[in-house]
């Protein structure tokens, strides 16, 4: 498993930094807007890894809203979900769609 982790890390397009930052995620699910409190686990210039809920699926568009100190939301797409019973279970990789902050 170590080789897989090392290989995956070296294939990343952007370097990542560990984080522990609270955020709010806004998503459309079954016709309703859901606000979910979450935590950013790591981040790069183009994406983040977050704790995710069961409604997260690849391709889902979410808005990432900082809990404090910022008045903007960053639109992102879910690109992967951690498999059940793995070390990345309940985690999701989000890729930012527009690098410029927008009003929340």
* pLDDT of 53 higher than 50: yes
Q: Residue 94's Cα: distance from chain center in Å?
A: 4
The phi and psi torsions of 54 (rounded to 5 degrees) equal -65, -20
What CATH number labels 2-96?
A: 2.40.10.220
Q: What is the rounded CA–CA span in Å between residue 38 and residue 19? A: 12
- Mean pLDDT of all residues belonging to the chain: 84
* pLDDT of 6 higher than 70: no
More confident residue, 82 or 7: 82
Residue with tokens 């939301």: 73
Alpha-carbon Rg for the chain, nearest whole angstrom, is 14
pTM of the model: 0.78
């Amino acid at each position: 498993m170590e080789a897989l982790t090392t290989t995956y890390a070296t294939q990343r397009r952007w370097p990542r930094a560990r984080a522990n930052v609270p955020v709010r995620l806004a998503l459309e699910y079954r016709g309703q807007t859901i606000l979910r409190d979450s935590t950013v686990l790591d981040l790069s210039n183009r994406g983040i890894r977050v704790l995710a809920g069961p409604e997260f699926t690849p391709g889902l568009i979410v808005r990432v809203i900082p809990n404090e100190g910022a008045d903007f939301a960053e639109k992102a797409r879910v690109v992967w979900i951690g498999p059940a019973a793995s070390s990345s279970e309940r985690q999701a990789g989000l890729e930012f769609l527009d690098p410029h902050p927008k009003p929340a």
